Amino acid sequence: MYAVLDIETTGGKYNEEGITEIAIHKFDGHQVVDKFISLVNPEREIQPFVINLTGINNKMLRTAPKFHEVAKRIVEITQDSVLVAHNAQFDYRILRTEFRRLGYNFERKTLCTVDLAKRLIPDAESHSLGKLVRSLGIPVSDRHRANGDALATLKLFKVLLSKDMDKSILSHVMRSETEGELSPRQLDIVEQMPSETGIYYMYNKEGELIFLGKSNNIKKKVNQHFIKNGDRARRIQKETKKVIFEKTGSELVALLKENEELTRNKPKYAHSNRKKLFSHAVYQAVDERGYVTLKAASHTFSKGVVTTFNSLQGAQGFIRQITIENELCLELNGLPDAKSKYLDSEYGGSKEICRDSETVLDYNRRVSEAITRFSLANKNVVIVDKGRETGEYSAILIKNGTFQGFGFYDLNHQINNIHILESIITPMKGDANTTHIIESYLRKKRVIRILDLNS
């Protein structure tokens, strides 16, 4: 649990500042579950430059509650939470100073989004809150007011969590939460899981990631882990002390995220890591007459690959499908049940090629159009799919046919502007496996839309 906060102060000498406004959003990693926003009477004058910056003046605060009147609420909303702030050292120092004046020792773990952004977005022109969120296309209102800056920090923190592929943020939090012995609470764990699409992470008591997986129903999948038989399953059940999840909305995003994080994190009980996620491919070649032909075979080399499959049957089925749908020549495409030089009439196929009434050029153009729909080769596109919540979308970036990464957005200008789009994308390694994941998914399932970056 996180408490994302921002504090405005009177300014003045070090450790003599007073709080003028505070905003805290309690965030469970997915949504805000509680919030507290209030002006605060600092019982001292506000520095003129602070009035000009924030718009908060002494008159506004005369009837505002004093810090001791809101102190209990602050303790309650930050209980069992990690404080998250932009320049957290400042906000935490101010809070501890105010509580110390009341004779109370206020202690919480902290995370600084400045430090996180420097590590996770190192190429940003500036790591100040205003410039950073602007570069990410995050809308901000009421800058230099506590709630405006707290909301901006919260949106930035969501981006940082998404970009944290090594899970260093969660590991930090886990280490702070698991000091001391934890008792098994599998039923409670399952109840806390959503019945939604995403990734789940299983940790031991030392805060080490021991397993991660993808599911369209996280609750159901985690429950299966706890009731499954077998030596490996029982070891996972015994060692798991906490399960954390990340919703992705899109199943394709979940598949890509799982692939990336398994490679990066190498959890103890990971599925066996195969170098290739596929075994067969559809190849294109040119016969002695100049016609483009399609052939299903084991994947042994990359030249001429159209798209990849997990089995020979899958590759052959793909060839049959596009041959029939695009009226191509069955025999040219080398299917084992080609009955004659002509396509069977039951397929509704064209016989023009066999009567030599279609030129080689025209036929090859139709083959190219048919296979281009199912291949990422040389494409520059953004695949838009469901997001984690209503009003949000996921964006998967493909450049020159290679997967670049994904991100989440809620405003159209964030994907219409290539610079903003690239800034919200969490970079990932694109290779033959990610191409296989994306192409396989697009053959079987629908996404919201695919935007051509060249158009």
Position 13 in a domain = yes
Taking Cα atoms as reference points, which of 5, 10, 141, 4 lies closest to residue 64? 10
Q: Give residue 189's pLDDT.
A: 87
Last-in-domain residue among 265, 288, 323: 265
pLDDT on residue 39: 96
Q: Are residues 97 and 159 in the same domain?
A: yes
**Together in a domain, 11 and 95:** yes
Question: Is 169 domain-assigned?
Answer: no
List the structure tokens of 152: 């901006």
Which helix (H) or strand (E) is 413 found in, with range? Answer: helix 413-416
Q: Is residue 86 part of a domain?
A: yes
How far is it, in rounded angstroms, from Cα 452 to Cα 169?
34
The structural domain count of the chain equals: 4
Q: Are 30 and 5 in contact (CB under 8 A)?
A: no
Contacts 24+ apart (CB under 8 A), 208-211: 208/171, 208/268, 209/167, 209/171, 209/265, 209/267, 209/268, 210/236, 210/239, 210/240, 210/267, 210/268, 210/269, 211/236, 211/240, 211/267, 211/268, 211/269, 211/270
Q: State the pTM of this model.
A: 0.74
Is residue 272 a part of any domain in this protein? no
Tell me, yes or no, whether 127 and 28 share the same domain. Answer: yes
The CATH number given to whatever domain includes residue 245 is 3.40.1440.10
Domain boundary among 372, 389, 414: 372
Classify the phi-psi angles of 401: left when phi > 0, otherwise alpha if psi is within -120 to 50, otherwise beta. Answer: left
Inside any domain, residue 224: yes
CATH number, domain with residue 120: 3.30.420.10
List the domain range (segments joined by +) for residue 65.
2-163
Which pLDDT score is estimated for 392? 94
Tens of each residue's pLDDT in the chain, 455 residues? 899 999 999 998 777 889 999 999 999 988 999 999 999 999 999 999 999 999 999 999 999 999 999 999 999 999 989 999 998 888 998 999 899 899 998 989 888 999 899 989 988 889 999 899 889 988 888 888 999 999 999 999 999 998 888 887 776 665 555 443 333 467 788 888 999 999 999 999 899 999 999 999 998 899 888 877 778 888 898 899 999 999 999 999 999 999 999 989 999 998 766 678 999 999 999 999 899 999 999 999 888 999 999 999 999 999 999 998 888 888 888 765 544 443 444 444 444 455 456 789 999 999 999 999 999 999 999 999 999 999 999 999 999 999 999 999 998 888 888 889 999 999 999 999 999 999 999 999 999 999 999 87
What one-letter code names the amino acid at 206?
A: E
Residues 13 and 109 placed together within one structural domain of the fold: yes
In this structure, the answer to whether residues 220 and 354 fall within a common structural domain is no
pLDDT value for 84: 93
- Confirm whether 274 is domain-assigned: no
The C-alpha angle with vertex 286 and arms to 281 and 291, in degrees rounded to 5, equals 115
Q: Are residues 93 and 149 in the same domain?
A: yes
Which domain-ending residue is among 141, 163, 185?
Answer: 163
Output phi, psi for 216, to 5 deg: -80, -10
Euclidean distance between CA atoms 88 and 84, whole angstroms: 6
Q: Do 436 and 320 belong to one domain?
A: no
**Do 12 and 45 share a domain, yes or no?**
yes
Is residue 206 situated within a structural domain? yes
Residue 335 has a pLDDT of 65
Are 87 and 105 members of one domain?
A: yes
In this structure, are 21 and 145 located in the same domain? yes
Give 155's Cβ-side CA count (13 Å radius).
Answer: 22
| Residues 292 and 249 grouped into a single domain | no
| 251 & 360 share domain | no
Within 10 angstroms of residue 138's Cβ, the number of other Cβ atoms is 23
- Residue that is written with structure tokens 């882990």 in the block: 225
Between CA 199 and CA 163 the distance in angstroms is 14
